[in-house]
């Protein structure tokens, strides 16, 4: 490294070794393992990740999950573990999550994405972009769909048609009355479903 005061090139360390600099500190934070300097942010070194991360430290505002093999905020002490869950790209911006300095959010399904990406994504989506499970409690939204469908009258030629569906939330197959957009799961009540087959048979007929 080069000291910007005396301009002497010297081995990397927390202080300048030149006598004229009188032990000048190179930065507020220095990691002897990563050889990393920082003057502006609060940084700590995680021995399990083997790199420096933003934060006050393990046991203060972060903890290391040994199964996920990553540092997570203390609020995520109870989370769905996914082995090496952060060793992948953010599904929205494609930045590598494990070494990213941006805040990361854990989804209920166990996947991860940047907190900022989550805020932007959920403005128009409510399902995980990887596994398609709902990202939260959708009871209010699904209740609105119940009311919408109850007030809607289908054309006569579609009233007796059925569709076989697969629920993304409970992963069960079922049968729902025909609709162009919304299909309710008979097992868990979710509308987070996909059509796998359209049938012209009467809905009252068993599968």
- 42-76 tens-digit pLDDT: 999 999 999 999 999 999 999 999 988 888 888 88
The reported pLDDT for the residue numbered 102 is 86
The reported pLDDT for the residue numbered 41 is 92
Tokens of 132: 């398609």
Domain spanning 145-202, CATH class: mainly beta
Whether 68 contacts 85, CB under 8 Å: yes
The reported pLDDT for the residue numbered 202 is 60
| Global confidence as pTM | 0.72
The helix (H) or strand (E) run that includes residue 71 is strand 70-73
Q: Which residues of the chain register pLDDT less than 70?
A: 200-207
The residue ranges of every structural domain in the chain are 41-123, 145-202
Q: How far apart are CA 161 and CA 147, in angstroms?
A: 20
Residues 6 or more apart whose Cβ sits within 8 Å of residue 187: 167, 170, 172, 174
Whether 95 contacts 112, CB under 8 Å: no
Tokens of 148: 């919408």
């Amino acid at each position: 490294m080069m000291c910007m005061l005396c301009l002497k090139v010297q081995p990397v360390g927390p202080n300048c070794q030149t006598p004229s600099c009188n032990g000048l500190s190179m930065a507020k934070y220095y990691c002897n393992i990563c050889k990393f300097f920082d003057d502006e942010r609060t940084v700590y070194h995680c021995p399990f990740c083997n790199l420096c991360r933003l934060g006050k430290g393990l046991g203060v505002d972060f903890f290391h999950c040994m199964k996920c093999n990553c540092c997570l905020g203390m609020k995520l002490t109870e989370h769905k573990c996914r082995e090496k869950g952060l060793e992948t790209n953010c599904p929205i911006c494609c930045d590598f999550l494990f070494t990213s300095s941006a805040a990361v959010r854990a989804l209920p399904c166990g996947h991860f994405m940047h907190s900022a990406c989550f805020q932007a994504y959920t403005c128009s989506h409510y399902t995980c972009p990887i596994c398609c499970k709902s990202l939260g409690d959708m009871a209010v939204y699904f209740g609105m769909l119940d009311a919408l469908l109850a007030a809607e009258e289908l054309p006569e030629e579609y009233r007796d048609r059925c569709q076989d569906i697969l629920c993304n939330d409970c992963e069960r197959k079922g049968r729902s009355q025909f609709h162009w957009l919304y299909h309710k799961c008979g097992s868990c009540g979710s509308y987070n479903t996909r059509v796998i087959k359209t049938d012209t048979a009467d809905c009252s007929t068993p599968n």
